[in-house]
Amino acid sequence: AQKVTQAQTEISVVEKEDVTLDCVYETRDTTYYLFWYKQPPSGELVFLIRRNSFDEQNEISGRYSWNFQKSTSSFNFTITASQVVDSAVYFCALSESGGSQGNLIFGKGTKLSVKP
């Protein structure tokens, strides 16, 4: 069965701290895709990254970085030097349908609060 677990319900940090959001997934497929989305208070989901199961290379984009470990079925997201604008709910998601973002299984999300 497909499942995405984000064990951290809420995290609170002070600005400039680094923070890692955990994501653990379950799937029986060998080909799958993982995503991270940001949901700010305004409600819309903002796409952050998509990674396929064959690419375990870690990725860095500015202050964001992602660590994909197939051995532990984890796809963790780290924000370096956090800022108040990073405050949002972050969702990790899994897709087995050829990477289509439509058929996504979402985790319950982690609410990140960055205090000044």
Partner 1 sequence: GAVVSQHPSWVICKSGTSVKIECRSLDFQATTMFWYRQFPKQSLMLMATSNEGSKATYEQGVEKDKFLINHASLTLSTLTVTSAHPEDSSFYICSARDLSSGREKLFFGSGTQLSVL
Which residues bind to partner 1, rule: CB under 8 A? Answer: 4, 9, 37, 42-47, 91, 99-104, 106-109, 111
The distance of closest approach from Cβ of residue 44 to partner 1 in the complex, given in angstroms and rounded to an integer, is 4
State the maximum Cα–Cα separation within the chain, in Å, rounded to a whole number.
Answer: 43
Q: Which is nearer to partner 1, 43 or 62 (CB)?
A: 43
Give the span between the Cα atoms of 92 and 17, in whole angstroms. 21
By C-beta, is 94 or 114 nearer to partner 1? 94
Shortest approach of partner 1 to residue 97 CB, angstroms? 11
- Phi, psi angle pair for 12, to nearest 5°: -125, 130
Residues 103 and 1: their CA atoms lie apart, in Å, by: 14
Of 17 and 100, nearer to partner 1 (C-beta) is 100
What minimum distance in Å lies between the beta carbon of 93 and partner 1?
8
Burial 52-62, CB ≥16 within 10 A → b, else e: ebeeeeeeeee
